[in-house]
C-alpha cells in the first residue's frame, strides 16, 4: 500500500509538472501566433520615430516568437537588428506622417562600424529636411558618437557625457591553469596570432601589445575625425576632453566645448519636438517606436522587380558551436542557392565575423569562388572581418569596409590541452593499449611526444599556406606579399586599405549600389539569405537558448563574458582561423 501511494504521488507530480509546461508552451504559442497575426501598424499624422537604441545590436534581427513576450520595449537586454534599423529609417524618409526622428541612445553593445552604418542612415534621412533631435540623460561613448549625427544634441542638466578614449583589455588564464596542473600544447603560424596567449602567458606579448596599440589608436583617430566633422569642432577639443577626464567635470563644460548644444530636461525636449512637428499640445508627441514601425507599410522609391540582389549574412564565429554563429554548411548552401538562381544577378556578402574553423572557412570560400565566376560578388565588412572572416572575404570582386572595421589576422592556430597534472593532483590515473603508434594522437591525459608535436605543427603550417594562397589569388598578390602583412596581424580598415587588404570605404548601401551597378541593374529587389526559420522551429530553438542565456547574463553580470569565452574555447575543434583576441569597445 505504501508503494502504491508513492506511485500515485509521483504520477500526480509528473502530471502536474507536464501540465504547467504544456500550459506555458500553449501561452507562448498563442502569444506568438497573435503577434504574427497583428494588423499592419497605422502611423498617425505628425508622428516622430522614437529611435531608442539599446541592448545588443546584431546584423540581422531574426523574428523571435518569444522575445516580445518576455521583454518590453524598455528592456536593455533585448536585441536590435541593424537590418530593421536600416529599413525603418529608410521608410521614415518617405513617410509623410513622420516629421522627424527622436534619437535616444541608451546602453547598447556593438562596434564603431555598426554605429557608422546607423549614422549614415540618419545622414541620408536628413537630406529630406526632416529633423533629428538627440537626447539622453547620460551618454555612453558610443551613444554620443551616434547622437552626434543629429541636428541638435541635448543632455540632461545632471547628466554625464562619457568621452574617455579607447582601451583594450584581455583576460589571461595561465596562472590558474598552472595551479590546476593543465598544460596547453600550442601550434600556430604568425607572430601576431595571439588568440592562444591567454593560455600560455600571464600578460600581453610584445607583438600583441604592438598591434593592439596601433589598432586602438587608429580606431580612436577614426572616431575623433567623424565626431569633429559632426560637431564642427577640432580633434584637439575631443582629445583634451578625454585626456583631462572632463566627463566628471561640470556639465556646462560639454556645452562650452561644443560637444552638446544645450542642457535640457525631458519636458523641454517634449516641447521642442511638438514645436518641430507643428503641434501646440503640451502632451507627448505622437511617438512611434522602432519595434512598431517595422510593421508599418510605407511606399518608398523601390519598385517591384524580378531581378534580385542576394544579400547574404555571414555573422558570428564560424562553426564555433554557438546558436547565433555561422554554420558553414548552411551558409555554403545559401551561397549555392543564390549562384544557381537565374533571377539573382549579384551577391552581397555581409561579413561580421572574427573567424573560426579553418575547414568551415574553406567550404564557404569554395562556394564563393564558384559564385563569382558568374555573378558580381561584393563583400561588405561590418565591425569585424578577421581571420576566417577575411578568409571568406578575400576572393570577392570588391571588398568594402569602414575605416573602423577590424580585419586581417591572416593566421592559423590549434591547441590541445594536457590535463595530466590535474588528474595526478586529484588521484585519477589512466592506462590502456593501442594498435598503432598514433592511435591516441589527440589524447588530453598525457604529455605529447616531440614527434606528435612536429606532425601537428606541420599540419598547421599547411593550413596557413592554404590561407595565404587564397588571399594571394583573391587580392592578386604574391604569397610573399600576403605573408608580409599576415602573420596573424590585425588591422583597422583605415590601415587595411593602405596595404590593399580592402578596396574601398563604404557601408551596406554602398555595397548594394555597387552590386547593382556591376550587374547593370536599374531596378532590383533584395533577397536576404539564409532564409529565416519558420515560427515553430524558431520557437523551439528560442525556448532552449534564449531564456537560459538571458538568465546567465543577468546572474553573472560582467563575468558572463569570461564564462562565454571559456565555453567558446571548449566548443572549438580542428584548426582555427580566428581573430587573436576579443576587443570590446565601450
Q: Between the CA atoms of 514, 520, 522 and 527, what dihedral angle is there, to the nearest 10 degrees?
A: -60
Taken as a whole, the chain contains a residue count of 586
Q: At what angle do helices 560-570 and 535-556 cross, to 10 degrees?
A: 130
DSSP 448: P
DSSP, residue by residue, 242-263: HHTTGGGS-THHHHHTTS-SEE
Say whether the peptide bond before residue 152 is cis (omega within 30 degrees of 0). no
What 3-state DSSP class applies to 47? strand
Q: At what angle do helices 358-371 and 450-475 cross, to 10 degrees?
A: 20
What 3-state DSSP class applies to 490? strand
Phi, psi (degrees; rounded to nearest 5) at 117: -60, -50
Rg (CA), the chain: 26
What is the C-alpha separation between 113 and 97, in angstroms, rounded?
30
Q: Is 205 a catalytic residue?
A: no
Considering 140, 353, 380, 387, which one is annotated as catalytic?
387
What is the C-alpha separation between 174 and 206, in angstroms, rounded?
17
DSSP, residue by residue, 180-210: HT-EEEEEEE-TT--TTHHHH-SS--HHHHH
What is the C-alpha separation between 101 and 94, in angstroms, rounded?
13
Considering 119, 193, 224, 375, which one is annotated as catalytic?
193
Q: Is 387 a catalytic residue?
A: yes
Q: Per DSSP, what are the bridge partners of residue 347? A: 310, 377
What 3-state DSSP class applies to 504? strand
| Residue matched to cell numbers 498563442 | 30
Determine the longest span between alpha carbons in the chain, in angstroms: 87
Residue 580: closest CA among 466, 497, 486: 486
Buried b (16+ CB within 10 A) or exposed e, 88-123: bbbbbbebebbbbbbbbbbebbbbbbbbbbbbbbbe
Angle 564-569-573 (CA atoms, 0-180°, nearest 5)? 140
DSSP 318: B
What is the C-alpha separation between 221 and 459, in angstroms, rounded?
39
Terminal Cα-to-Cα distance of the chain (whole angstroms):
65
Cell reading at 36:
504574427
DSSP 163: -
The helix (run of H) or strand (run of E) holding residue 55 is: strand 47-58
What is the C-alpha separation between 77 and 562, in angstroms, rounded?
18
Q: Which residues are catalytic?
A: 193, 387
Amino acid at each position: 500500500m505504501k508503494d502504491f501511494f508513492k506511485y500515485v504521488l509521483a504520477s500526480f507530480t509528473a502530471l502536474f509538472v507536464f501540465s504547467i509546461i504544456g500550459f506555458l508552451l500553449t501561452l507562448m504559442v498563442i502569444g506568438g501566433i497573435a503577434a504574427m497575426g497583428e494588423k499592419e501598424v497605422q502611423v498617425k499624422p505628425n508622428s516622430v520615430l522614437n529611435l531608442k537604441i539599446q541592448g545588443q545590436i546584431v546584423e540581422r534581427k531574426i523574428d523571435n516568437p518569444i522575445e516580445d513576450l518576455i521583454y518590453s520595449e524598455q528592456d536593455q537586454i533585448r536585441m536590435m537588428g541593424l537590418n530593421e534599423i536600416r529599413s525603418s529609417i529608410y521608410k521614415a524618409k518617405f513617410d509623410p506622417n513622420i516629421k522627424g526622428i527622436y534619437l535616444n541612445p541608451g546602453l547598447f553593445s556593438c562596434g564603431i562600424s555598426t554605429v557608422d552604418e546607423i549614422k549614415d542612415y540618419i545622414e541620408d534621412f536628413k537630406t529630406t529636411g526632416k529633423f533629428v533631435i538627440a537626447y539622453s540623460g547620460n551618454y555612453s561613448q558610443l551613444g554620443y558618437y551616434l547622437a552626434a549625427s543629429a541636428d541638435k544634441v541635448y543632455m540632461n542638466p545632471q547628466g554625464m557625457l562619457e568621452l574617455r578614449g579607447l582601451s583594450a583589455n584581455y583576460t589571461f588564464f595561465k596562472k590558474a591553469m598552472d595551479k590546476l596542473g593543465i598544460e596547453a600544447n600550442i601550434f600556430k603560424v604568425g607572430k601576431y596570432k595571439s588568440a592562444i596567449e591567454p593560455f600560455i602567458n600571464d600578460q600581453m606579448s610584445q607583438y600583441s601589445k604592438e598591434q593592439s596599440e596601433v589598432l586602438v589608436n587608429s580606431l580612436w583617430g577614426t572616431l575623433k575625425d567623424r565626431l569633429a566633422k559632426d560637431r564642427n569642432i577640432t580633434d584637439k577639443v575631443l582629445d583634451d576632453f578625454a585626456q583631462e577626464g572632463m566627463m566628471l567635470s561640470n556639465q556646462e563644460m560639454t556645452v562650452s566645448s561644443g560637444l552638446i548644444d544645450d542642457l535640457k530636461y525631458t519636458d523641454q525636449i517634449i516641447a521642442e519636438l511638438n514645436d518641430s512637428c507643428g503641434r501646440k499640445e503640451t502632451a507627448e508627441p505622437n511617438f512611434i517606436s522602432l519595434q512598431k514601425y517595422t510593421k508599418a507599410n510605407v511606399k518608398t522609391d523601390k519598385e517591384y522587380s524580378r531581378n534580385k540582389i542576394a544579400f547574404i549574412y555571414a555573422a558570428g564565429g564560424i562553426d564555433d558551436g554557438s546558436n547565433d554563429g555561422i554554420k558553414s554548411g548552411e551558409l555554403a548552401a545559401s551561397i549555392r542557392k543564390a549562384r544557381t538562381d537565374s533571377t539573382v544577378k549579384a551577391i552581397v556578402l555581409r561579413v561580421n565575423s572574427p573567424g573560426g574553423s579553418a575547414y568551415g572557412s574553406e567550404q564557404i570560400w569554395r562556394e564563393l569562388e564558384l559564385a563569382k565566376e558568374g555573378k558580381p560578388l561584393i563583400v561588405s565588412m561590418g565591425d569585424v572581418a578577421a581571420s576566417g572572416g577575411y578568409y571568406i572575404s578575400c576572393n570577392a570582386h570588391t571588398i568594402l569596409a569602414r575605416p573602423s572595421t577590424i580585419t586581417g589576422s591572416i593566421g592559423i592556430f590549434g591547441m590541445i590541452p594536457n590535463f595530466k597534472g590535474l588528474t595526478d593532483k586529484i588521484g585519477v590515473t589512466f592506462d590502456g593499449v593501442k594498435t598503432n603508434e598514433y592511435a591516441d594522437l589527440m589524447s588530453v591525459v598525457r604529455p605529447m611526444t616531440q614527434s606528435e608535436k612536429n606532425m601537428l605543427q606541420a599540419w598547421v603550417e599547411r593550413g596557413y599556406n592554404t590561407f595565404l594562397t587564397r588571399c594571394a589569388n583573391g587580392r592578386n598578390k604574391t604569397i610573399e606579399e600576403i605573408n608580409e602583412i599576415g602573420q596573424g596581424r590585425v588591422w583597422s580598415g583605415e590601415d587595411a586599405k593602405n596595404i590593399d587588404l580592402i578596396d574601398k570605404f563604404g557601408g551596406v548601401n554602398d555595397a548594394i549600389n555597387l552590386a547593382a551597378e556591376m550587374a547593370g541593374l536599374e531596378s532590383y529587389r533584395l533577397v536576404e539569405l539564409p532564409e529565416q526559420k519558420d515560427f515553430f522551429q524558431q520557437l523551439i530553438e528560442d525556448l532552449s537558448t534564449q531564456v537560459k542565456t538571458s538568465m546567465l547574463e543577468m546572474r553573472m553580470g560582467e563575468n558572463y563574458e569570461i564564462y562565454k569565452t571559456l565555453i567558446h574555447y571548449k566548443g572549438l575543434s580542428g584548426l582555427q582561423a580566428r581573430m587573436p583576441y576579443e576587443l570590446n569597445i565601450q
